[in-house]
Structures are given as C-alpha cells and as structure tokens.
Amino acid sequence: MFERFTEPARRVVKLAVAESQEAGDALVDEEHLVYALFGEPDGEAARLCGGEVTLARIKAAFRTARRRGGMSDADAAALAGLGIDVDEVVAGFQAGLPPEALDGPRKPPGRHRPFSKHAKRALSLALQEVVSRRERALGERDLLLGLLRNQALAAGVLEGLGVRYDDVRARLS
C-alpha cells in the first residue's frame, strides 16, 4: 500500500509509528497520525487548515477526548442530542474500574506495532482520495482528508478546531 505514498507522506507514517512508540501505546492510532501530520508548524496539513490549528491545541483536544472514553467535543454534542451525557456515562463506568482503565491498551515497546482499525480505515480512505482524483501519488493532504472522512476520533477533534472535510477539499480544487 505504501508504494504510492509521497516521500513526505511516508515520513508522516514513520513519525506516527515513533509517536506511538514514545507514548508506549500498543497500536499506531489516528491520534499519532495527526500528531505527525501537524508536527511541522508550516507543513502542508497546517497550511490547509489555515494555520489556526496548532499541535498544542490538537494534543489538548485528544487528551480531553481520551479522558472521555474517546469522545471528541463533536461526539459529545452529538450524543447530548440523544439525551446521553457522555461525561456521566464515562464517570459511571470508571467508578467500577481501576484508574487509567479507559485510557486504551498499553504495552512495553515491542517490534510489532500494528495500526489500529481506525488508523487503517483513515489510510485506506486517503488512498480513495487519490483514486477519486485519478492521481497516483498519496500526499500529506490525502492523509488529512482520509482522517477527516473517517468520522472517528480524529475527525471529531479536528472538527472541534474548525477543520472540516468539505473546506479542506474545497481549498484543494
């Protein structure tokens, strides 16, 4: 799959793996891909998002979501519309679990570090972006679009910072 990635896009994937390793996470998740994409303040992803979206703001939003069962502000708002208070649900669950149990799997650094289900989906949606434009090379912009289209945690976090799929896509054409 990676043969179609541009050099900068490959670097993002490698950085994401390193981010996961550093954090001691068991998987390479969407979160690590986003950190890698926005690692450079003047990188393509930051430029496409209008420069308002900084790594510090992104990390803060992911931290908040982690404490809330992986729900972004956008997710929490969507569920509030159904009468579900995510904070209350998570607090209820946490009461019966050891602290940090909701943080996600941890493991000591090992050789094999697979991508999470959501990260895999985001990567395959990034490839779909390239295919839909009848292009060959998958760049950083496609990784960003793939993450936004995946509608999982990364899309919610970025949406909370004012980044939407349609806007980024429009900026490209």
Partner 1 sequence: MYVDSMTEATDLAAGAGDTDPKVGLRAVAALRRLLEHLETAQVRNAREHGWAWQQIADELGVSRQAAHKKHGKERH
Would you tell me which residues interact with partner 1 (CB under 8 A)?
26-27, 29, 69-71, 74-76, 78-79, 81-82, 84, 86, 89-90, 93, 97-98, 101-102, 104-105, 107, 114, 116-118, 151-153, 156
- C-beta closer to partner 1: residue 56 or 108: 108
What's the min distance (Å) between Cβ of 44 and partner 1? 27
Phi, psi of 101 (to 5 degrees): -65, -30
**How many angstroms separate the CA atoms of 88 and 84, rounded?**
8
- C-beta closer to partner 1: residue 29 or 129: 29
- C-beta closer to partner 1: residue 86 or 138: 86
**How many angstroms separate the CA atoms of 12 and 43, rounded?**
11
What's the min distance (Å) between Cβ of 145 and partner 1? 18
What's the min distance (Å) between Cβ of 167 and partner 1? 16
- C-beta closer to partner 1: residue 27 or 130: 27
Per the CB < 8 A criterion, the answer to whether 160 and 172 are in contact is no
Per the CB < 8 A criterion, the answer to whether 19 and 35 are in contact is yes
What's the min distance (Å) between Cβ of 38 and partner 1? 22
- C-beta closer to partner 1: residue 32 or 141: 32
What's the min distance (Å) between Cβ of 64 and partner 1? 14
161-168: long-range pairs with CB below 8 Å, 24+ = 161/49, 161/52, 161/53, 161/57, 161/58, 161/61, 162/49, 162/50, 162/52, 162/53, 163/49, 163/53, 168/48, 168/49, 168/141, 168/144
